[in-house]
Structure 1
Amino acid sequence: MPAEGDENYLTTAEVARRLQVKPATIYAYVSRGLLTSTRARGRRGSLFAADEVERLAARSIEHSGVVERIESQLTLLADDELYYRGHSARTLATTSTVAEVATLLWTNQPPVGADADGVFGVEKQGVELARVGMGVVPDGARLTDRVRVAVAVLGAADPLRFDLSPGAVTAAAGRLIGTVVAALPGTTAYGVPTLGARLWPKLSEEEPRPELLDAALILLADHGLAVSTVAARVAASARANLYAVISAGLGALDGQYHGAAPTLAYEFLDRAKADPVKALSDQLRSGKPIPGFGHRIYQHHDPRADVLLELLGDHPIVDTVRAIADRTPAFPNSDLAIAAIMHAYRFRPDAGDALFAIARMIGWTAHALEEYAAPALRFRAMGIYTGQPT
């Protein structure tokens, strides 16, 4: 038993000063097994081995609030461009199908040859089950609310959901996405060539332009470590099944600072159609950011918005977007581009959030596959107790 004053041991107060925490936090570390307390010979109080304290101090500095470095081979954001496994997302959006890009993200296979029926297979029994689940939500519920319920119901009905092998996960993901799209309210189109063609009649009664939705689904499929993707990866780290991983992502996506962005851009653009300058002026006066403009990562332009607005061509809604963009230093982002598509083709007002959610399921699956191959339970933040001392 060491004595107080032994240079190889530190008192509670000394440890607190070294780690820059409150004394109460030291005992929280002990309860979590991060430190070992030893009684001082002849005195009340605890001592702590100096070398153990130094290791904990070094660990705290190294992490400095970061839970874990997440290495990924999926998505690169560089120089205002977006890449999936080294392929330009801008190019993929206009030359590949959603099935091909999903296959690229999930398996690293070249983006050629995959078909929608082969990747996003639909089981009619699953569609009926998902519709029953969606039917329990109130009539005024959003499409994303229905999607969340459908994912939970389909997961509960899959007895093999705990098979986390890559082949089983990709098959379940494709089947889940295809089934959810088919189960959404609206006309169900079977036998159409792309996922965008299947989704279109769920969102709009206008003449279909499925290439717009295919491009949007590709461009929104992944965007690196967005908050919803981190949530999905944390769930996958605990070896949650794919349906639970998707549910974790959908939960984070439901936050007002994440998945709601397309709806906010849609509402702003709705005001701007009649008078872009007035809508911009009112927004500036409110002191709030302009919905659908600017981005935390992109500095000069959002490549996703570039592609989608270009696909809209000379539609009058593009003139509205330009009238706003010409009067602000910020640039249109993907949320505004999705909102422009919604207005151009009379999509239902909650379509943007649902489109975002369905597209991001592709990316969450890819991240889950990476996480399943990594050590389990590797995300554990170091909590610092700041409550009442014991």
Structure 2
Amino acid sequence: MNDQADDQADGERRISTRQAAELLGVKPATVYAYVSRGQLTSRRDPVGRGSSFDAREVEALALRSRREAAAPPGGELSVRTSLTLIEPDRYYFRGVDAVDLASRYRYEEVAEWLWTGTLPRGARFTAPPEALAAARRAVAALPEHSGPIDRLRVATAAAAVTDPLRFDLSEEAVLGSARCLVPTLVGALPEVGAAGWRGDGRLARQLWSRLTAREPDPDALAVLDLALTLLIDHDLAASTLAVRVAASARAHPYAAVSAGLGVLEGPLHGAAGRLAHRMLAEALERGGAAPVVADHLRAGRRVPGLGHRLYEGEDPRAAALFARLEGVPQAGPALAAAREVVATAAARRGGLHANVDLALAVLTVSCGMPAEAGETVFAVSRTAGWMAHALEEYQ
């Protein structure tokens, strides 16, 4: 007897992804988003024809969704997205494996995929001169101790006032704002490296000179581009939810991005990369990760860069970055220290795996970047994802 017959015998009615989407009134990709957030359970077809769902569970979710849609303002927030699906061991952008996309396409190309569902080879973003000049003036006026999120928030506000079409929420206008804002944010950050890279149109090269004074080698630059691409979106994280709320009130896209940056500045969402960087740097200084991990455990602190509530094993973003960092010679010591951190913590507490913050810290430590560099990479990268969510909310 096959699985479907077993289900029928037990009184359980299974339906396909297409049928579930029709019942819920959403796209098939959104059905899997419900699965990633624990609102639906799916079962793989052993023949390989997709997934099936418990019809009664889908019908119950559809009923809840209709009630939420009819509820007055102030009720429980309900957000649907078809942009990113997270499974226990991988994640997808618009139904395509995100790690595979990031391995074959550059950041700008994957941003276009999230925004438009197309993958234009060779996509480049250009900052409008007026917006870039205004953003640079605003950032230059900040105190020297200002952090990367301070600079990016001010640059976003400055770019907004130079865009007379910012209140136009049509798809074409929002796409134009998105393609201009991301390079404007990067261009507004102060340069610490060689200015000779300024003429290169690729965002990763533009960002490199804002993160380190070292000249980029092709392998390290490829890792930075991979990190930017992997971090573009990760479903409804706290900052993304803030963007969706702002967009639902029809705030213009610059204001929506500002909402995301505001949440990112909170210690529970944006500080993990900085902590992982400092831990790795300390492990290298002390000649080993064991005493550093011991200090964290003795103080009752969680070890930075380990564990992720959405993945059962290693964060797939970390796995992809670690694999690419193998080809960067100067990353060897930091990579070894990161692996020692994982092994030491696992010996004390099983089930802990590396997350993307630890992998990103290997890049920032080994390339002479400051502790806040990971935060900068994350915020710049996620701006494209926030714009994708704003677009989806406006529609």
How far residue 308 of structure 1 moved from its aligned partner, in angstroms, is 0.9
Q: Does 1:139 align with 2:156?
A: no
Q: Which has the higher contact order (CA 8 A, sep 6+)?
A: 1
> Pairwise mapping of residues 264-279 of structure 1 onto structure 2 (< 5 A)?
264-273=275-284, 274=286, 275-279=288-292
The structure in which a higher percent of residues are helix is: 2
* Amino acid paired to 1:238: A
Query: Matched residue of 1:83: which SS?
Result: strand
Q: What SS does structure 2 have at the residue aligned with 1:76?
A: strand
Among 206, 210, 232, the residue aligned to 1:202: 210
TM-score (norm 1): 0.76
> Given residue 343 of structure 1, which amino acid in structure 2 is its aligned partner?
V
Q: 1:101: which partner in 2? A: 110
**Structure exhibiting the larger radius of gyration computed from Cα positions:** 1
Cα distance, 1:157–1:112 mapped onto 2, change above 3 Å: closer
Q: Deviations over 1:317-358 (max 9, x none)?
A: 111011111122311111111111000101122211111111
- Classify the secondary structure of the residue corresponding to 1:371: helix
Find the partner of 1:249 among 257, 260, 263.
Answer: 260
- SS of the equivalent of 1:68 reads coil
Q: Tell me the distance in 1 between the aligned counterparts of 2:86 and 2:75.
A: 20
**Cα distance, 1:193 vs. partner?**
4.5
Secondary structure of 2:258's aligned partner = helix
Equivalent residue runs for 1:179-198 within 5 Å:
179-186=184-191, 187-188=194-195, 189-198=197-206
Equivalent residue number for residue 352 of structure 1:
374
Letter paired with 1:353: E
Match of residue 219 from structure 1: 230
Cα 1:103–1:114 shift into 2, 3 Å: farther
Alignment partner, residue 90 of structure 1: 99
Offset at residue 217 of structure 1 (A): 0.8
Contact kept? 2:132, 2:159, Cα under 8 Å: no
Q: Is 1:168 aligned to residue 173 of structure 2?
A: yes
Confirm or deny that 1:323 pairs with 2:331. Answer: no
Mapping of 1:32-51 within 5 angstroms? Answer: none
Q: 2:182 matched to which residue of 1?
A: 177
- The DSSP-based 3-state class of the residue aligned with 1:144 is helix
Inter-partner Cα distance in structure 2 for 1:95 and 1:89 = 10
Partners of 1:200 and 1:210 within 8 A in 2: yes
TM-score (norm 2): 0.75
Q: Distance in 1 between matches of 2:165 and 2:201?
A: 28
1:239 offset after TM fit, Å? 0.3
CA RMSD across the alignment: 1.9
1:234-264 deviation per Cα after TM superposition (whole angstroms, max 9, x unaligned):
0000000010000000001110000111111
- Unpaired runs of 5+ in structure 1? 1-57, 374-390
Q: Relative to 1, partners in 2 of residues 1:164 and 1:337: Cα closer, same or farther, differing over 3 Å? A: same
